[in-house]
Chain A
Amino acid sequence: MTDVEAMDRPSLVYDERLSLVAGMLQRFSWQRLDGDSGVVRLQLGGSIAIEDAAALWKRISETLAGDLAGVRSVELDMSGVQMIDGACMALLVQLRSDLRGRRIACEFVGGTGEVRRIVDLYGGRKKARHKRAQRKPLSAIEQVGSSTLDILAELKQILDFIGQLTASTLHVIKHPKSLNLRDVTLTMERAGADATPIVLLINFLMGFVMAYQSAAQLKQFGANIYVADLVGVSMTRELGPLMMAIIICGRSGAAFAAELGTMKVSEEVDALRTLGFLPLPFLVLPRMLGLILVAPVLVLLADAVGILGGALVATLTLDITPTSFFIQLQSAVKTSDVVSGVIKGMVFCGTIALISCQQGLATSGGAEGVGRRTTSAVVSILFALIVLDAIFTVILGAFGL
């Protein structure tokens, strides 16, 4: 018996026309004809489109998982195929690659017109390319090493940034006219004036809640009047600047990182350089200066409304008159408390601008990169604020303030 005659003897027939997948009638046939000398012909027929891909992939998987012992070559006979689309063709090309990977020759045969064009387009006539090298998973030690190198590279980038910023600041001090004053005022308006309502509301509620929470405890000891000390000192020294900074971080920190990040990926930063402007003095310094300048105003407003919230609770629930509250407040809150809070707020705002602009200018990789850097900026700022707050507490404590 010749090979051709042997091929006419079907050993496995699977007719997909009879099967229903996802409620759709499958329109192709798949027939395996085993020849005598290790030659297998896979005869495909009908129309094979993306809707049939799942069924086709099942047949391919079964073929690869099935008995291939003694098989030398496989012919993918396309002569009965009326139509095949790119996705299904890609699956057949994958079958061919897998077979060749097992040292079984595999070729497409037959097919006319459109079918042949699809076969050719998807590399049906080409020699199989080298199999893509599998990426070796990194070991735990390699991952630690790689992350360490990434952190060091990021650290170097940050140090570079701080160095350049220092040089730019010195340059602007020497040549004040070189400062981009337009962006300073714009930042003061957007980050300061526009943020005032939310800063007022949040801090009023902070003072209100703090006084309310402590009222019950203070009542037990007849120490109602000390609510003024509690609210006054904690708002001016701690919560006023901190809450203001958290709001500025969420509003302006994220905005700076996203704005500069978008400018970076859309080549606006490069365009700026080609027009003779340096990004740091032109983009970063004005934002930093604008935020630092609005910080004292915002901190003082935050302190004032926070204390007002406390005074309201004291008047309503602790039977303290507003006059007694403010007389007690005067004796409790020292000028140094307010000043240290203002300085803290300015340092916080400088840090917000520094980190958000650094992250924005380090952006790469399009929209996804902008999102990643914006998130990273906000998280880094919040972390830095808490660390700075702790440092301030220790330093001010050491000076007895």
Chain B
Amino acid sequence: MKKALISVEDLSMGYGETALLEHASFEVARGDVFVILGGSGCGKSTLLRHLIGLETPMAGRIRVAGEAPSLEGAAPRYGVMFQSGALFSSMSVGENVAFALQEWTHLPLEAVDAIVRAKLALVGLEGAEDKLPAELSGGMRKRAAIARAMAFEPTLIFLDEPSAGLDPVSAVELDELILALNRNLGLTVVMVTHELESIFKVGKTCIMLDRETRSIIARGEPKRLRTESADPKVRRFFNRETSVPQWQ
């Protein structure tokens, strides 16, 4: 196995005094596309926020490239795309992408502009530099958010439900973009999603969280879990089975 980029040991996390996950341990290998799965409210996005360093765990240890995740006023060590994109609404798309570069590098404006144009072209948004986030569609906003996350050349990117709320074509395009970034740049991707097509298309490894047991109930390759898992919850998830009665 490749050397782990993220290691989580005995993690307990939640909100307030409510635990969502207890004593969880897992690793994310370099170059992996690691998918966090689970039903609604099981703590997928919360786990992602813990990995990013936006939340403090109740107990346990998280290490990203050997260090505790920290966001304390330093150049970004990894890219993050939030579910809504979270582009700064008062800035143009170009300014959003250039934002961290201007702060953390001493590049002249022309060089920053060149990088911004290249990053936007990478996500298929050539010429959108001067547009405001409000002028973009949902899919474009998410791609712009990926461009902003990629601006500082991270080796690791976190994506929170990238395909949620997108039309099928935009969702497929986004999946292909994630795959291309992973294959061509060796980018490690950690993503939360429950879009089955995305999971099977881009996911190399996954963990599945369970709200009832507050634990990881499955881990491994998504395609194998679909056919080989003995856990009925896991099988139901991967095979789109429902507890709602089926009509005759």
Q: Does A276 contact B (CB under 8 A)?
A: yes
In the complex, the answer to whether A278 meets B247 with C-beta atoms within 8 Å is no
Partner of A270, one of B54, B79, B148, B149: B54
B100 nearest CB neighbor, chain A only: A275
B237 located at the interface, meaning its Cβ lies under 8 Å from any Cβ of chain A in the complex = no
- The reply to whether B89 and A276 form a contact with Cβ atoms under 8 Å apart is no
Q: How far is the CB of B240 from chain A (nearest CB, A)?
A: 18
Interface residues of B in 129-146 (CB under 8 A from A): none
Beta-carbon contacts of A250-271 to B below 8 Å, as 1s and 0s?
0000000000000000111011
Interface size class of A (residues with CB under 8 A): 10 to 19
The reply to whether B88 and A120 form a contact with Cβ atoms under 8 Å apart is no
Q: Which residues of A contact B73 (CB under 8 A)?
A: 276-278, 281
Chain B residue nearest in CB terms to A117:
B247
Q: Residue B68 at the A interface, CB < 8 A?
A: no
Report the Cα distance A104→B54, complex, angstroms. 52
Determine whether B212 belongs to the interface, using a CB cutoff of 8 Å to chain A. no
Instruction: Tell me whether B71 is interfacial, beta carbon within 8 Å.
Output: yes
Partner of B76, one of A266, A275, A278: A275
- Which secondary structure characterizes the binding site on chain A? helix
State the CA gap A125–B247 with chains docked (Å): 13
Which listed residue (A121, A270, A277, A281) contacts B82, Cβ 8 A?
A270
Q: Is A277 in contact with B103, judged by CB distance below 8 angstroms?
A: yes
Q: How far is the CA of A53 from the CA of B60 in the complex (A)?
A: 54
Cβ contacts under 8 Å, A275 to chain B: 76, 99-100, 103, 148, 152
Given known contacts A117-B247, A120-B245, A277-B103, is B86 in contact with A271 (CB within 8 Å)?
yes
Q: CA–CA, A275 to B91, complex, Å? A: 15
Query: B247–A266 contact, CB under 8 A?
Result: no
Q: Which residues of A contact B104 (CB under 8 A)?
A: 276
Q: Does B6 contact A (CB under 8 A)?
A: no
Indicate whether B72 reaches chain A with its CB closer than 8 angstroms: yes
Given B74, B86, B100, which contacts A267 in the complex, CB threshold below 8 Å? Answer: B86
Check A268 against B89 for contact (C-beta < 8 Å). yes
In the complex, are the beta carbons of B84 and A266 less than 8 A apart? yes
Chain A residue contacts of B100, Cβ below 8 A: 275-276
Q: State which of A121, A125, A266, A274 has its C-beta within 8 Å of the C-beta of B80.
A: A274
Contacting residues of chain B (207-248) with chain A, CB-CB under 8 angstroms: 244-245, 247
A271 with B103, Cβ < 8 A, contacts A125-B245, A276-B73 known? no
- Across the interface, which residues of A come within 8 angstroms of B84, CB to CB? 266-267
Using a CB-CB cutoff of 8 Å, which residues 174-199 of chain B contact chain A? none
- The answer to whether B86 touches A273, judged by C-beta atoms less than 8 angstroms apart, is no
The smallest beta-carbon distance between A172 and chain B, in angstroms, is: 11
Which B residues between 71 and 109 are near A, CB-CB below 8 angstroms? 71-76, 78-80, 82-84, 86-89, 99-100, 103-104
Please tell me if B52 contacts chain A, counting CB pairs below 8 Å. yes
Please indicate the chain B residues that have their CB under 8 angstroms from the CB of A281 in the complex. Answer: 73
Residues of B within 8 A of A117 (CB): 247
- Distance from A86 Cβ to chain B, minimum over Cβ atoms (Å): 14
Instruction: State the Cβ distance, A17 to closest chain B Cβ, in Å.
Output: 30
Report yes or no: A271 in contact with B88, Cβ–Cβ below 8 A. yes
Whether the pair B86, A266 counts as a contact (CB closer than 8 A) is: yes
**Alpha-carbon separation in the docked complex, A199 to B245 (Å):** 67
Complex contacts, B86 vs chain A, CB 8 Å: 266-268, 270-271
A121 to B243, CA, bound (A): 11
Q: Would you give the 0/1 interface string for A281-297, flagging 1 where the beta carbon is closer than 8 Å to chain B? A: 10000000000000000
CB distance from A98 to the nearest CB of B (A): 24
Is B71's CB under 8 angstroms from A276's CB? yes
The complex places the Cα of A276 from the Cα of B100 at a distance, in Å, of 8
- A273 near B89: Cβ-Cβ < 8 Å: no
A267 to B87, CA, bound (A): 9
Taking a contact as CB atoms under 8 Å apart, the answer to whether A271 and B82 are in contact is yes
Point out the residues of chain B lying under 8 angstroms from A120, CB to CB.
Answer: 245, 247
A282 vs chain B, min Cβ distance (A): 9
Which of these, A125, A268, A276, contacts B74 with CB under 8 Å?
A276
Interface residues of B in 40-70 (CB under 8 A from A): 49, 52, 54
Expressed in whole angstroms, the minimum distance between the Cβ of B168 and any Cβ of chain A is: 25
Q: When chains A and B are docked, how far (Å) is the Cα of A276 from the Cα of B79?
A: 11
- In the assembled complex, the CB of A267 is this many whole angstroms from the nearest CB of chain B, namely 4
Report B-chain residues with C-beta under 8 Å of the C-beta of A273.
54, 71
Which residues of chain A have C-beta atoms less than 8 A from B149's C-beta? 274
- A278 proximity list for chain B (CB < 8 A): 72-73
Q: Write out the residue numbers on chain B whose beta carbons fall within 8 Å of the beta carbon of A125.
A: 245
Q: Report the nearest A residue to B72, measured CB to CB.
A: A278
**From residue B144, how far is it (CB to closest CB) to chain A in Å?**
12
A268 touches B88 (CB 8 A): yes
List residues of A (271-328) whose CB comes within 8 Å of B's CBs: 271-278, 281
In the complex the two chains form, what is the Cα distance from A276 to B77 in whole Å?
9
- Interface code A107-140, partner B: CB below 8 Å = 1, 0 otherwise? 0000000000100110001000000000000000
Q: Chain A residues with Cβ under 8 A from B89's Cβ? A: 266, 268
Q: Provide the residues of chain A in CB contact with B83, threshold 8 Å.
A: 267
Q: Complex: how many Å from CA A394 to CA B79?
A: 53
Q: How far is the CA of A281 from the CA of B103 in the complex (A)?
A: 13
**Would B244 and A121 count as touching, CB distance under 8 A?**
yes
Closest 10 CB pairs of A and B: A267-B86, A271-B86, A274-B80, A275-B100, A267-B82, A273-B71, A120-B245, A278-B73, A276-B76, A268-B86
Residues on B facing A (Cβ under 8 Å): 49, 52, 54, 71-76, 78-80, 82-84, 86-89, 99-100, 103-104, 148-149, 152, 244-245, 247
Enumerate chain A interface residues (CB-CB to B < 8 A).
Answer: 117, 120-121, 125, 266-268, 270-278, 281
- Other than A274-B78, A275-B152, A278-B73, give 4 A-B pairs with Cβ distance below 8 A: A271-B87, A275-B100, A276-B74, A276-B103
Q: Could you list some 17 contacts between A and B, CB below 8 A? A: A117-B247, A120-B247, A121-B245, A266-B86, A267-B82, A267-B83, A267-B84, A270-B49, A270-B80, A270-B86, A271-B80, A271-B82, A273-B54, A273-B71, A274-B52, A275-B100, A276-B104
